[in-house]
Amino acid sequence: MRVAFLMAPEGVEQVELTEPWQAVADAGGTPELISTRSGHVQAFKHLDKADTFPVDRTVADSSIEDFDGLVLPGGVANPDVLRRDARAVAFVKEFIGAGKPVAAICHAPWTLVEADVLRGRTLTSWPSLRTDITNAGGTWVDEEVHVCDAAPATLVTSRKPADLKAFCSAFLKEFGG
């Protein structure tokens, strides 16, 4: 199981990267950090800088064919930057279009809103995204984790870092790990 973790060069919530990453590795999978620029990603613990992580590939050098699933970690700044990057948005849209599962936590569904892939889907997120999701044609629910298996691809979503255990368990099941 090869899993792409897509994030901006700065602004990802560290625990929303590290815990799912470790869950993939513990399940025998291969996680890869994909970003819009090469180098390193600067993670945050809420609003404070945390660790940096090396980028494995850029979006421009990546193909969805290389992966079994996509994880979109949150953090407020991370998805806000990603949704303004045409290649990142297209990468997400291609995963959904190809029927490959996507997992998103906290503010990460902003990138899904921008990719215009939420019509007729039910998902959860950080509560402040409710209106954005609804305006994008989705149905928002307040649940620890929600799995929407509407065609063409399964979408696994969670609200916040406190939901990470349920989030990781659910997306690993959907990703085949």
Is 106 annotated in the active site? yes
Cβ-based neighbour number of residue 47 at 10 Å: 8
Residue ranges covered by each domain of the chain: 2-175
- Looking at the chain, the whole-number percentage of residues with pLDDT higher than 70 is 99
Inform me whether the pLDDT recorded for 71 exceeds 70.
yes
pTM: 0.98
40 has catalytic annotation: no
Name which of 43, 112, 49 is nearest 78 in CA terms: 43
Mean pLDDT for all residues in the chain: 97
The predicted-structure confidence for 22-66, as pLDDT tens digits, reads as follows: 999 999 999 999 999 999 999 999 999 999 999 999 999 999 999
pLDDT digit string (tens) for 121-162?
Answer: 999 999 999 999 999 999 999 999 999 999 999 999 999 999
CATH number of 2-175: 3.40.50.880
Burial of 19 (0-12, 13-18, 19+ CB in 10 A): middle
Long-range contacts of range 27-30, CB-CB < 8 Å, 24 or more positions apart?
27/1, 27/172, 27/177, 28/1, 28/177, 29/1, 29/2, 29/3, 29/68, 29/175, 29/177, 30/1, 30/2, 30/3
Q: Annotated catalytic residue: which of 106, 146, 148, 168?
A: 106
Please identify which of the residues 40, 107, 146, 168 carries the catalytic annotation.
Answer: 107
